A and B are shown apart, each in its own frame.
Chain A
């Protein structure tokens, strides 16, 4: 797949500076005793400032691996095997660990999956926020003093919808939703312009989930930051995101604006994913997607979706479909659209 080059995406080359983040041909592989697992295989996408981009896929599709790679938090036995992650004109893949540390939190922040496990249980909330600020404050800004820090914590907690007195509490004294809000306060503490949110509400109830997502949306608009939301809940994506990328077995199989993808899904997998959603329409029978995702160690030849695809044809068993650009910001990797894209 070489469609990631400039010729396939004319909008990339002409105004590269317009993007907050550009991911080009990114590969993240895990070396295992039984072979190389291509968890993220040649994925490209762009993120505009202020855009809300959602990555969806089943568990094991590589969406979290991709989010972690963008934060340069890939752990052994995983490694970035190729591609580029451009933040402005700097390539994160090439950077030293020291440089990355200065970018984390101040330019790119992560709202982790399951905030309940990401906070330090023996540290007060306020101290944890200070910890992040002191560790990542940009060298030019100078270290803030205690009074400045206290005003900052007060301000951050209010912005995420918590009472300022929460700063004196320990994590076990907070509910799941409150812990997730603390994690968001840490994430926005240095005004980043990219927020990576990895399933930020996966263990929360619907009402709390809605409150958290709406708070995240409000914070993002305040900072004019781009959000990369990783999740599997298509309902949440429809509510929150502007654009969506569907991942399957390590590849991005469809990209488009949320209204376009929901109204006119192109890839057969996206179609099935939308059909499998339960809704309040009782007349509609909801159906699962037949079969299961193939093991990444042992992918079928050709398109990885071919064992489950209802529109499978002979070509799908031979060739891996290339990512085809159908329109600006709209694309699909499926042989059904080969001709349409050629015209």
Chain B
């Protein structure tokens, strides 16, 4: 098994420098994970705003570096990459952003975003080869070249614009695509088609995908594994069906109960409590303690370790201290290992 990217005990803080009066904000707190190349999977990073999911994605993208901990790209220390490795990294990791309009320059035709990467990475030798590449990529995401090429971004619908971005990511033949909330600004009726084209990239071309979202229903539809983040920590992770259909961590449970089900017979329960910062000092203990319905004394004293619940499954919660073993070296690679073989995909 070879790791494409590997994060070991990565922490990222913002602010709190020597001259600052405020403590630093810990956006990502001691996260370890690896992205495996041999078995490309779709991994969801889920959490509310401020949970650190986008910071984690930016770390993977290489636009920010960890404050503590280490990060490896193909086994090499990320901070000491050679010029060539760094160039390869930029080609092999591509991203799709939330706002399908913000990614375009409104003065250029749509073709521009598709031609630029081909020119930059010298992917085609002739004009004709370039056109074929673009047309193939558009077909892969279910767009007709005639409907999209030669038009300006404002002439396309939000769904089409976002699918052109998927096609662009695809052109570069990356090994990893980071999709940061790719459908949150698109109408519900178009979400399915965009997510389906992302899933095809994974299943048919074998590209690993990190799907960042707060929408657990779509996570269940397209991904293999999931990490649930809360205030910078991965509170629960594992195979997506197990985590979503049988959540173990009280935060995951709250998150899943709160999803508005399109079923009038299956309504929300009582109003959940909001955070009570004053009651609890969550500095040292579990970060969810102030909202947790099962809170115990030990939760305030020390941050819970990762408990290994079952195969491919872990949760950061003391509720499972009797039935599960503490993971000595929490590593999501071992959790997710062989998932694909098991799923037979």
Which residue in A236, A273, A280 is a CB contact (below 8 Å) of B189? A273
B189 touches A205 (CB 8 A): no
- In the complex, A209→B260 CA distance in Å? 9
Taking CB atoms and an 8 Å cut-off, the chain B residues in 256-297 that contact chain A are 258-265, 267-268, 271-272, 274
- In the complex, A343→B251 CA distance in Å? 54
B264 touches A288 (CB 8 A): no
Stretch at the interface among B31-39, B69-77, B213-221: B213-221
- Chain A residues, CB < 8 A from B218: 278
A238 touches B261 (CB 8 A): yes
- In the complex, A58→B244 CA distance in Å? 28
B254 touches A207 (CB 8 A): yes
Which residue in A161, A218, A235, A289 is a CB contact (below 8 Å) of B261? A235
Q: Which of B190, B259, B262 has the most CB of A within 10 A?
A: B262
A239 at the interface (CB under 8 A from B): yes
B204 at the interface (CB under 8 A from A): no
Q: What's the interface size class on B, roughly?
A: 35 or more
B40 at the interface (CB under 8 A from A): no
B48 touches A207 (CB 8 A): yes
A/B pair count, beta carbons within 8 Å: 111
- Contact pattern, B 129-163, Cβ under 8 Å of A = 1, otherwise 0: 00000000000000000000000000001111000
B187 touches A238 (CB 8 A): no
A210 at the interface (CB under 8 A from B): yes
Q: Which of B220, B244, B261 has the most CB of A within 10 A?
A: B261
CB distance from A304 to the nearest CB of B (A): 15
Known: A210-B272, A232-B187. A282 touches B214 (CB 8 A): no
Which residue in B189, B216, B255, B262 is a CB contact (below 8 Å) of A58? B189
B192 at the interface (CB under 8 A from A): yes
- In the complex, A238→B262 CA distance in Å? 5
B345 at the interface (CB under 8 A from A): no
- In the complex, A58→B258 CA distance in Å? 23
A326 at the interface (CB under 8 A from B): no
B188 touches A277 (CB 8 A): yes
- Chain B residues, CB < 8 A from A258: 264
13 extra interface residue pairs, beta carbon distance < 8 Å, beyond A210-B272, A276-B188, A280-B244:
A58-B189, A206-B216, A207-B258, A213-B260, A214-B268, A239-B267, A239-B268, A240-B260, A279-B217, A279-B261, A282-B241, A286-B192, A292-B157
The 13 sampled A-B contact pairs (Cβ below 8 Å) are A59-B187, A210-B260, A213-B260, A235-B259, A235-B261, A238-B262, A239-B267, A262-B264, A274-B262, A276-B188, A279-B262, A282-B220, A288-B192
* Nearest 7 Cβ contacts at the A-B interface: A235-B260, A288-B192, A205-B48, A278-B217, A289-B189, A210-B258, A288-B193
